[in-house]
Structure 1
Amino acid sequence: MPSFKVSLLDYGAGNVRSVRNAITSNGYEIEDITTPSQIDEAKVLIFPGVGSYGSAMKVLHEKGFYEPLKKYLANHDRPFLGICLGMQTLFESSDEFSPDADHAIEGLGVIPGKVRKFDETKMAVPHIGWNGRIHHQESPVLKYVAPEEDVYFVHSYFAPVNDDNKDWAMTSTTYGGQHFMSSVHKGSLVGCQFHPEKSGVTGLNVLKGFLEAVENGTLNQTKSLTVNPDATTQLVKRVVIALDVRSNDHGDLVVTKGDQYDVRENEKEGVVEGRGGVRNLGKPVALASRYYQEGGDEIAFLNITSFRQGVIEDMPMLQVLEEASKSIFVPLTVGGGIRSYTDPQSGQTWSALEVANRYFRAGADKVSIGSDAVIASEDYIKSGKKKTGETSIEMISHVYGAQAVVISIDPKRVYVKSKDEVVNKDHVVVELDKSQAGPNGETLCWYQCTVKGGREAKDICAVTVAKSVEDLGAGEIMLNCIDMDGQCKGFDIPLMNAVSNAVTIPVIASSGAGKPEHFSDVFKETKVQAALAAGMFHRKEVEIEEVKEHMRQQSIPTRTKAATVQGS
């Protein structure tokens, strides 16, 4: 049994459940920091910062944690691990949510340097996905991690490596030509810009190395390495698995899939005449666990059940997240019902921020917003592009960061023979290959956004919505296409190009995958950073490793998962 409990500084923002589960899976007990005096008593302190820098520092001051934390960190001799924002707060200041360029938000001031934002003109921002590490130190923290293993990042701000802080660098990573600190280590202080709790087996081994070194007193035994100044790392393309979750006719949550949003079986004996029951492809947690074991890079739970009232009462879906996060250590996205609403019985109003918080606390890393984002985009355009701060996107991204907000866009093609047919000049008309021509030979179309699960069309195009939600603070787009959904003929390449070329945030291609080549095609022909599939994996027509092997054969970078947790 370990000789200490891990003190966890959970200041109340974001998904800390996964960090808890990753720590306990390594055999350690957790003690929550609830009062400032507990910081001084801690044997080892882990700070899993989630959200925005400004919000985090505000909470540290309000709860009286700031000064005790600075005291704990002062001599670099007490075991500490800061994760993502928890690492960034160690620096002197940050530009994130600072009032102006000359007044950066003050941090804990342990490491020299300022946290800065990635340049959207040179790369997609946020930096989301699996990337490598250049080792600057030999550290017990990385004892069980091979140099070639990728780890998971999700951030818009970074700490540059410079002459003043380079002795802190344990590893560095490159993205879009920018060299930044991906982990730090000096004495007994450690920080990771990446998320070990979301980096699969590799991440669990990072935590194991850290905690084991605390246990045996070797945490401060590091050695500098010679670093090739020309070394670089590479962000890999992600394979995302979507699980459409809804209640079946008996009230149980199941994973389902259909053609163009029809998820019911054809008529069968014992089912109401004319329509079959909800197609059942498995239980959500069991399927998600399988995909994690098979090397899926991310998993998305998309709740397609119609909400009686709202997500606050949707306990089954919250329980799915809680259970999934116990054994799945890759990013989890959840969508469905992320909006503000009022309980018709009690009259109580829940903000979208409160709804999202319930999902984050249950184990989600990102929330996906659909219909509400389209409505917000319409209002944004009508107002002359004025932000109110009251949309779901703005509220959630302000507290949790843009990287926590995914926008699901569900458009359908509207074929036209010429651009003159399109009355609304804001609609972006896209040229199609002749093989994709419309029913009357049309080789032009615009992509009309829909809401309510594709049941209602709106007079706004996918490109306009994508640009609007980026302005409002979204960090990623999940781009579907109703025409391609369930067809297994490949992703809609023209749509993916139209949107990914119009925004600087990452785009996930969705709808239409049926074989490994479809993933390679969309990665080679567009700028999307990830591609998503559901049915072909659920039905075991294609394995995840088949997709990744085909990507490797096409020289498309992909993650190779670590085999086991060391020592388990």
Structure 2
Amino acid sequence: MITLLDYGAGNVRSVRNAIRKLGFEVRDVEKPEDILSADKLIFPGVGNFGVVMQRLVRDGYAEKIVERIRQDKPTFGICVALQAFFDGSEESPGVAGLGIIPGQVKRFTDSGLSVPQIGWNGIKLHKESSLFSAYNGEKLYFVHSYKASANPDNRDWILTTTDYGEEFISAVAKGRVIATQFHPEKSGAAGLGILERFLQDSETLTVCGAKNTLIAGEKTQIARRIIACLDVRSNDAGDLVVTKGDQYDVRQEGEVRNLGKPVELARRYYEEGADEVTFLNITGFRDFPLQDQPMIEVLKETSKNVFVPLTIGGGIREFTDSEGNFYSALDVASQYFRSGADKVSIGSDAVYSVEEYLKNREKTGKTAIEQISIVYGAQAVVISVDPRRVYVKSSDETSHTTVKTQFPGPNGEEYCWYQCTVRGGREGRDVDVVQLVTACEELGAGEILLNCIDKDGTNSGFDLELVRMVKGAVSIPVIASSGAGCPAHFTEVFLETGAEAALAAGIFHRGEVKISSVKRAVAEAGIETR
């Protein structure tokens, strides 16, 4: 029996599903004493360091975790749990950590890299551990803005390190206690293998050949991500289907395009090597009570067999359902996280929030972006941007940020700006893409999903001018979307813009391009992949 410490910290369902997938039963901690009596304890953590520590102290868990670790009982900490082992974190000044490992957790400082680090990176082993006996150098999934670093007082804890601008601690271990900054439950077969060896034998954490000095070696590199996107809506018969639009029109000959069932397609893409899977809910579904949202069931079922990150977008905002129940944006996001999502994607609501924010540049703490990032961390908040080109003859014609384009407008205009839209691209707003993404970063967003209405469904390649503009405006990761038609388009967007990830939908759904062929083309171009 495996015991899971579920204290409301993000997507714990994926950890629970991973344990069950590996053939083990799992139960939750119900009272602090369960932490000490558990044969094996999984201690996951997602979100803000201060929020995590506050909950652990509030529920009486912090003291028992420390006692358990000092008794050297089998314990596996994940992500923020590793950071909680340390004395404290810059993320929450003045909030004490568990104090098990000496040192302060600090934010990444390399200005040339996007923060958070989101994606698949390697590890360097500094000790021998049977937990990694079958590890063959595969990349593992990281998502964090803060990292722990080696110092003379904590070197005996260091199991692995990883490079992201600077070297940081990616796993710690001593005796039968281990914690990883990466997410084994989101790292595909390699991550499940590491977790399985912990679950199989109480002695699997034994670490041999401990060294007090770090070994030299090649630096690890983060991979560019290939993401499969599933636009999900109900068709005219009321069935939930994956569809695809051209310039956001999902109908063909009067019927909603039906390209498959969401749960089945998501599993297929996972098995084919997708680095992430994104669901975009493009149907209202707003009359349902939150607990009956169709996408909740999709997430629950998908997370049983898909062990890479899942993002859900569409309707992440406050609303009142037909029964008069009010839900805040945080309530909605929390329910999706509890159902298997790792990130939520905010679209129209982000535009409305930015319009208000631009009036006086004051944070209210009431926007969906702020509410969710404060509790779950910036890495949990993706902004889905739906811009379209507005052509002008010169940059003097508009106050918006323009680009001199290589593709002139219908009347020979040499400049354009990118107007942000809402309501599925049906309504333009007086906000340009640079205003939107920079404001969203200031409000606490951790990633940009950059669509392009002009390119959607064209198979003519990504809008490189748009992606370059946004990459130059923000310091958070950017996912390029809309327009991919062949593997070369992915290689092009990575080489020409520096985007951290690229997303496609229709070409994958229709089988025109395989994920494996995209990865092969990207790797052959010398670009790091998983």
What band does the TM-score fall into relative to the shorter chain? over 0.9
Offset of 1:144 from its aligned partner? 1.9
The aligned amino acid for 2:404 is E
- Please show how residues 286-297 of structure 1 align to structure 2 within 5 Å: 286-297=264-275
- Please show how residues 508-527 of structure 1 align to structure 2 within 5 Å: 508-527=479-498
**Counterpart in the other structure of 2:433:** 462
The aligned amino acid for 2:236 is D
**Counterpart in the other structure of 2:168:** 180
3-state SS of 2:365 partner: coil
> Is it true that 1:84 corresponds to 2:91 in the alignment?
no
Offset of 1:310 from its aligned partner? 5.8
Q: Is the 8 A contact 1:17 1:361 kept in 2?
A: yes
**Counterpart in the other structure of 1:271:** none
- Consecutive unaligned residues of structure 2, counting only runs of 5 or more, are none
Cα separation, 2, equivalents of 1:151 and 1:391: 32
> Is it true that 1:153 corresponds to 2:180 in the alignment?
no
Which is further off, 19-28 or 405-414? 19-28
**Counterpart in the other structure of 2:155:** 166
- Please show how residues 398-417 of structure 1 align to structure 2 within 5 Å: 398-417=374-393
3-state SS of 1:261 partner: coil
Offset of 1:525 from its aligned partner? 0.4
Q: Would the alpha carbon gap of residues 8 and 313 (structure 1) be closer, same or farther in structure 2, given more than 3 Å must change?
A: closer
Q: Is the 8 A contact 1:36 1:68 kept in 2?
A: yes
**Counterpart in the other structure of 1:564:** none
Offset of 1:315 from its aligned partner? 2.7
> Is it true that 1:359 corresponds to 2:359 in the alignment?
no
TM-score, scaled relative to structure 1? 0.91
Q: Is the 8 A contact 1:135 1:227 kept in 2?
A: no
Cα separation, 1, equivalents of 2:353 and 2:450: 17
Q: 1:65 aligns with which of 61, 64, 69?
A: 61
3-state SS of 1:123 partner: coil
The aligned amino acid for 1:233 is T
> Is it true that 1:256 corresponds to 2:251 in the alignment?
no
Cα separation, 2, equivalents of 1:72 and 1:545: 44
Q: CA RMSD in A?
A: 1.3
- Please show how residues 280-319 of structure 1 align to structure 2 within 5 Å: 280-309=258-287, 312=290, 314-319=292-297
Offset of 1:372 from its aligned partner? 0.3
Cα separation, 2, equivalents of 1:227 and 1:379: 50
- Please show how residues 33-72 of structure 1 align to structure 2 within 5 Å: 33-72=29-68
Q: Would the alpha carbon gap of residues 218 and 517 (structure 1) be closer, same or farther in structure 2, given more than 3 Å must change?
A: closer
Q: Would the alpha carbon gap of residues 418 and 523 (structure 1) be closer, same or farther in structure 2, given more than 3 Å must change?
A: same
Q: Deviations over 1:99-129 (max 9, x none)?
A: xxxx3x2111111111111126242100000
- Consecutive unaligned residues of structure 1, counting only runs of 5 or more, are 267-275, 560-568
> Is it true that 1:106 corresponds to 2:96 in the alignment?
yes
> Is it true that 1:378 corresponds to 2:341 in the alignment?
no
The aligned amino acid for 1:15 is N
Cα separation, 2, equivalents of 1:135 and 1:281: 43
- Please show how residues 22-41 of structure 1 align to structure 2 within 5 Å: 22-41=18-37
Offset of 1:455 from its aligned partner? 0.6
Q: Is the 8 A contact 1:501 1:527 kept in 2?
A: no
**Counterpart in the other structure of 2:91:** 96
Offset of 1:227 from its aligned partner? 5.2
Aligned residues: 529
3-state SS of 1:403 partner: helix
Cα separation, 2, equivalents of 1:184 and 1:13: 21
3-state SS of 1:457 partner: strand
> Is it true that 1:394 corresponds to 2:389 in the alignment?
no
Q: 1:242 aligns with which of 216, 229, 233?
A: 229
Q: Is the 8 A contact 2:86 2:99 kept in 1?
A: yes
Q: Is the 8 A contact 1:140 1:213 kept in 2?
A: no
Q: 1:131 aligns with which of 113, 121, 127?
A: 121
3-state SS of 1:106 partner: coil
> Is it true that 1:418 corresponds to 2:413 in the alignment?
no
Offset of 1:308 from its aligned partner? 3.6
> Is it true that 1:189 corresponds to 2:177 in the alignment?
yes
Q: 2:519 aligns with which of 548, 563, 566?
A: 548
Q: Is the 8 A contact 2:289 2:323 kept in 1?
A: no
3-state SS of 2:468 partner: helix
3-state SS of 2:303 partner: helix
Q: Is the 8 A contact 2:508 2:514 kept in 1?
A: yes
Q: Is the 8 A contact 2:115 2:475 kept in 1?
A: yes
Q: Is the 8 A contact 2:393 2:415 kept in 1?
A: yes
Offset of 1:80 from its aligned partner? 0.5
Q: Is the 8 A contact 2:176 2:204 kept in 1?
A: no
Offset of 1:498 from its aligned partner? 0.5
Cα separation, 1, equivalents of 2:92 and 2:252: 50
**Counterpart in the other structure of 2:201:** 213
TM-score, scaled relative to structure 2? 0.98
Q: Is the 8 A contact 1:120 1:504 kept in 2?
A: no
Cα separation, 1, equivalents of 2:154 and 2:214: 15
Q: Is the 8 A contact 1:140 1:210 kept in 2?
A: no
Cα separation, 2, equivalents of 1:221 and 1:118: 29
Cα separation, 1, equivalents of 2:340 and 2:285: 20
3-state SS of 2:55 partner: helix
**Counterpart in the other structure of 1:334:** 312
The aligned amino acid for 2:228 is I
Cα separation, 2, equivalents of 1:11 and 1:149: 30
3-state SS of 1:337 partner: coil
Offset of 1:161 from its aligned partner? 1.5
Offset of 1:314 from its aligned partner? 4.8
Q: Deviations over 1:280-337 (max 9, x none)?
A: 0000011110000000000000000123436715532111100000000000000010
Q: Deviations over 1:235-278 (max 9, x none)?
A: 11000010000001111110000201111112xxxxxxxxx211
The aligned amino acid for 2:109 is D
Cα separation, 2, equivalents of 1:157 and 1:403: 11
Q: Deviations over 1:362-387 (max 9, x none)?
A: 100000000000111111001x2100
Q: 1:231 aligns with which of 200, 214, 218?
A: 218
Offset of 1:230 from its aligned partner? 4.9
Offset of 1:228 from its aligned partner? 4.0
Q: Deviations over 1:201-233 (max 9, x none)?
A: 01100101212232xx34224223685435310
Q: Is the 8 A contact 1:158 1:181 kept in 2?
A: yes
Q: Deviations over 1:498-523 (max 9, x none)?
A: 01111000000000000000000000
Cα separation, 1, equivalents of 2:261 and 2:346: 23
- Please show how residues 472-483 of structure 1 align to structure 2 within 5 Å: 472-483=443-454
**Counterpart in the other structure of 1:447:** 418
The aligned amino acid for 1:477 is I
3-state SS of 2:236 partner: coil
The aligned amino acid for 2:485 is G
Cα separation, 2, equivalents of 1:345 and 1:490: 45
